[in-house]
Amino acid sequence: MPSSWTGLGGLLGGAGKRAPADALTLAAVTSGAGQGGGRAQVDLSGIWALPADMAAARSTSVTRTLDAKGGLQLPIDADAATKLPAERDGALVTVYLPGSPDQPRPSYATNALPLDARGRLTVTAGVRREAGIPDGADVLAVVDPDRRTLILTAASRLDAGLAGLLDGLRRPTAVPAATDATAVPATDVTAPVTGADAGAPSTSGGRLRSVG
């Protein structure tokens, strides 16, 4: 939608009867139909002033690309700009969000990371270098809502592990039917003896045979 209502009436009115009834009503209002004293009877400017809270996070794991300054937009709600304590353990960076009951371990603590009021975290160049996160890289961020922590790592480090997990999710290969003759038990089928060969010597190892 345009930032100004100017021209919106013409845009919707041009759709004619193809537009829904609500859209045509809106077009009439914005074009000034039924206005008095040079002003529309309905003031729609308040639509842009309605307060809206941040939507609830639909996932605790997101993949974001670092901007030129190492900024990372995260699905967290921040009341004001602040600096968050953090620690680095190998390729993992753990950030402690406001209200977290935990703190960085002394031997792993690193520089605090800035968080602005919009929920954008800046992963500083020094921390990125220590964790092996290249500039502009894709970063996997996992939020723990209970501990109020955020774990970051370069997404490229997970490629090999993800490939193995994807292979494990595939259906197992069907086992081919046994073709070895020894796998199928042999059946001893003996033809009935007729009168013509009743006197012939037996080749069945002395076993009784039915004579019809």
State the pTM of this model: 0.52
Could you read off the pLDDT of 169-185 as tens digits, one per residue? Answer: 888 776 655 555 555 45
Residue 151 pLDDT grade (very low, low, confident, very high; cuts 50, 70, 90): very high
Residue 122 has pLDDT above 90, yes or no: yes
State the pLDDT at residue 172: 78
Could you read off the pLDDT of 36-95 as tens digits, one per residue? Answer: 555 555 565 555 555 666 555 556 888 888 988 899 888 777 778 899 999 999 999 999
φ, ψ at 187 (rounded to 5°) = -110, 125
Of 3, 4, 31, which Cα lies nearest the Cα of 15?
31
Residues in Cβ contact with 113 at an 8 Å cutoff, skipping those fewer than 6 apart: 83, 84, 86, 95, 121, 122, 123, 124, 127
What SS3 class is residue 152? strand
14-28, 103-117, 134-148, 149-163: which range is least confident on average? 14-28
